[in-house]
Amino acid sequence: MSRSDAIRTLSVALDERSYPIHIGPGLLGRPETLTPYLAGRQVMIVTNETVAPLYLEAFKRGLPEELEVREVVLPDGEHTKTLESVARIWDALLAAGFNRRCTLVALGGGVVGDMTGYAAACYQRGVAFIQVPTTLLSQVDSSVGGKTGVNHPRGKNMIGAFWQPKAVLIDTDTLATLPSRELSAGLAEVIKYGLIRDLDFLAWLEAQMPALRRLDGEVLREAIYRSCAIKAEVVAADETEQGARALLNLGHTFGHAIEAHQGYGAWLHGEAVGTGMLMAAELSRRLGWLSEGDVARVAAVIAAADLPPAAPADMGVEDFLAVMRLDKKNIDARLRLVLLSGLGDACLYDATPPERLEALLADFPRR
């Protein structure tokens, strides 16, 4: 198979705002995958200090000469996912005199993607943007679906907007430079799709985990394709999370509490989600929905992905609850959790008896 034959395309079906997800090797150097989605000649590439030395030049080399290309290189890290960083993007756009027909390109992981999307949503009341995700997590999750924004010291992703990209270009070659801890964090979101929606995919992941961890190109592309297919379907059915989209948050309510309590960046988002999914599975078992064998299976696939099996030692019940009470899924002070009604099947549940939740938070393993 040639490299161009390896490129596969999905669509996020949102009527006139529908967009393609192109997945394959070598996409960075192929302008034809990008130029149809530019609003005009002005292009602002947003990236960070880690990704720029790796991929910025290769990306720019692939752009047609007639474009007016500028760049903003932000500092790296979840703790930089702030309004101040987004303001740097707006400053650069204004300094360059970019108008409403400019296009922002997010070249990097989920942090760059979420901030660039939010900058695009607000600049001159909304301009085009394209996602070029370079981490596994951003390729399977954050680049698709139009959730954009920044963190607030009191809660993760609390400031933001729904703003869909014009296209998502996933160059799977970029994963070659990804640290293995980041690969594992991305695998958490891949496992999530199997757990909430697709038991066959979960079984496939259990079998393919060693190949995924040694970056087998074909297996990785298949995992990314199947993950994006599920995400695209869910987003098309419920773009602004009135219902089914909330199921994509399996493990996130617990995970966000870990991230916020530990300080953004101490635990990677995917690591916290991995532990959070195990907590959600255990709570589902205690509610009578999963068997011990099911929970052991979840624990095994989390361990195979090299994700943490236990919560931070310094987090007490109230530390979890303080952040969980602020979760965006809650309605009228009722805590709503994504739980597993079976393996491969998730539900949004707002009737967990508080004493059951507190017992789980108290006796879930710590490390």
Partner whose binding site includes residue 164, from ligand GLY, ligand NAD, none (CB under 5 to 8 Å by kind): none
Per CB under 6 A, 231 contacts ligand NAD: no
Per DSSP, 366 falls in state B
Backbone angles phi, psi at 180, to 5 degrees: -65, -30
- Paired residues of 69 in beta bridges: 43
Query: Is 245 marked active-site?
Result: yes
- Residue in 81, 88, 147, 226 annotated catalytic: 147
Distances in Å between the Cα of 263 and the Cα atoms of 159, 260, 266 are 17, 5, 6
Task: Determine contact, residues 355/314, Cβ cutoff 8 Å.
Answer: no
Query: Is 261 marked active-site?
Result: no
- Residue in 252, 261, 285, 336 annotated catalytic: 252
With a CB cutoff of 8 Å and minimum separation 6, the contacts of 364 are 279, 282, 310, 311
Burial 128-143 (b: 16+ CB within 10 A, else e): bbbbbbbbbbbbbbbb
Query: Is 66 marked active-site?
Result: no
- Paired residues of 48 in beta bridges: 74
Partner whose binding site includes residue 25, from ligand NAD, ligand GLY, none (CB under 5 to 8 Å by kind): none
DSSP H helices, 130-215, are: 136-137, 180-197, 199-213
Query: Is 100 marked active-site?
Result: no
Write out the two tokens for 138: 């951003």
Query: Is 156 marked active-site?
Result: no
Per DSSP, 300 falls in state H
Partner whose binding site includes residue 9, from ligand GLY, ligand NAD, none (CB under 5 to 8 Å by kind): none
Per CB under 6 A, 99 contacts ligand NAD: no
Distance CA 307, CA 199 (A): 20
Backbone angles phi, psi at 128, to 5 degrees: -70, 150
Query: Is 241 marked active-site?
Result: yes
Query: Is 41 marked active-site?
Result: no
Minimum CB–partner distance for residue 300 and ligand GLY (Å): 24
The alpha carbon of 152 is separated from its chain's Cα centroid by a whole number of angstroms, namely 18
Task: Find the binding residues for ligand GLY in span 145-204 (CB under 6 A).
Answer: 145, 147
Where is 11: in which H helix or E strand?
A: strand 8-12
Task: Give the count of residues interacting with ligand NAD (CB under 6 A).
Answer: 29
Partner whose binding site includes residue 20, from ligand GLY, ligand NAD, none (CB under 5 to 8 Å by kind): none
| β-pairing verdict for 103-108 and 42-48 | parallel
Query: Is 125 marked active-site?
Result: yes
Per CB under 6 A, 164 contacts ligand NAD: no
Per CB under 6 A, 50 contacts ligand NAD: yes
Quick note: the x/- pattern for ligand GLY over 236-255, rule CB under 6 A, is ---------x--xx------
Listed residue (160, 159, 127) closest to 145, CA to CA: 160
Per CB under 6 A, 145 contacts ligand NAD: yes
Quick note: the x/- pattern for ligand GLY over 67-86, rule CB under 6 A, is --------------------
With a CB cutoff of 8 Å and minimum separation 6, the contacts of 211 are 219
- Residue in 81, 156, 245, 285 annotated catalytic: 245
Query: Is 78 marked active-site?
Result: no
Query: Is 65 marked active-site?
Result: no
> Which residue in this structure is represented by tokens 């004493």?
355
Partner whose binding site includes residue 245, from ligand GLY, ligand NAD, none (CB under 5 to 8 Å by kind): ligand GLY
Among residues 44, 62, 114, 188, which is the contact residue for ligand NAD, using CB under 6 A? 114
Task: Find the binding residues for ligand GLY in span 135-154 (CB under 6 A).
Answer: 141, 145, 147
Distance CA 105, CA 101 (A): 13
Distance CA 328, CA 158 (A): 8
Partner whose binding site includes residue 319, from ligand GLY, ligand NAD, none (CB under 5 to 8 Å by kind): none
Listed residue (348, 345, 21) closest to 167, CA to CA: 21
Residues that bind ligand GLY (CB under 6 A): 141, 145, 147, 245, 248-249
Residues that bind ligand NAD (CB under 6 A): 48, 50-51, 54, 76, 78, 81, 108-112, 114, 134-135, 137-138, 141-142, 145, 147, 157, 174, 177-178, 182, 185, 269-270
Q: Which residues are catalytic?
A: 125, 147, 189, 231, 241, 245, 249, 252, 256, 269
